[in-house]
Amino acid sequence: MEVEITWWGHATCTVRDSGVRVLTDPLFARRLAHLRRRRGAVPPPEAAEAEVVLVSHLHADHLHLPSLAVLAPGTRLVVPRGARRAVPGLARLARARGLAVTEVVPGEEVRVREGVRVRAVSARHDGRRLPFGPQRAPALGYVVEGAARTYFAGDTGLFDAMAEEVGPVDVALLPVGGWGPYLGPGHLDAERAARALAELAPAAAVPVHYGTYWPIGMDAVRPHEFHAPGGEFARRAGLLAPKVAVRVPAHGERVRLP
pLDDT of residue 258: 73
pLDDT at 129: 74
Q: How far apart are CA 121 and CA 165, in angstroms?
A: 7
Lowest mean pLDDT among 17-21, 59-63, 131-135: 131-135
What sign does the CA torsion over 69, 70, 74, 75 have?
Answer: negative
Predicted local confidence at residue 136, as pLDDT: 75
Q: List, for residues 186-208, the tens digit of each pLDDT value.
A: 899 999 999 999 999 999 999 99
Asked if the model's pLDDT at residue 134 lies above 90, the reply is no
Cβ-in-10-Å burial (0-12, 13-18, 19+) of 222 comes to exposed
Task: Give pLDDT tens digits for 28-83.
Answer: 999 999 999 999 999 999 999 999 999 999 999 999 999 999 999 999 999 999 99
Residue 97: in which H helix or E strand, if any? helix 88-97
Strands 12-17 and 20-24: antiparallel
Give me the percent of the chain exceeding a pLDDT of 70: 97
Arithmetic mean of pLDDT, 11-26: 98
pLDDT in tens, 204-244: 999 999 999 999 999 989 999 999 999 999 999 999 999 99
Compute CA 70 distance to the chain's CA centroid, rounded to the nearest angstrom. 18
What is the chain's Cα-based Rg? 17
Mean pLDDT value across the chain: 95
Q: Which residues pair with 120 in a beta bridge?
A: 142
Read off the pTM.
0.96
| pLDDT score of 16 | 98
Does 241 or 258 have the greater pLDDT score? 241
- CA–CA separation, 36 vs 30, rounded Å? 6
pLDDT at 133: 59
Determine contact, residues 203/170, Cβ cutoff 8 Å: yes
pLDDT of residue 132: 60
Confidence at residue 151, expressed as pLDDT on a 0 to 100 scale: 98
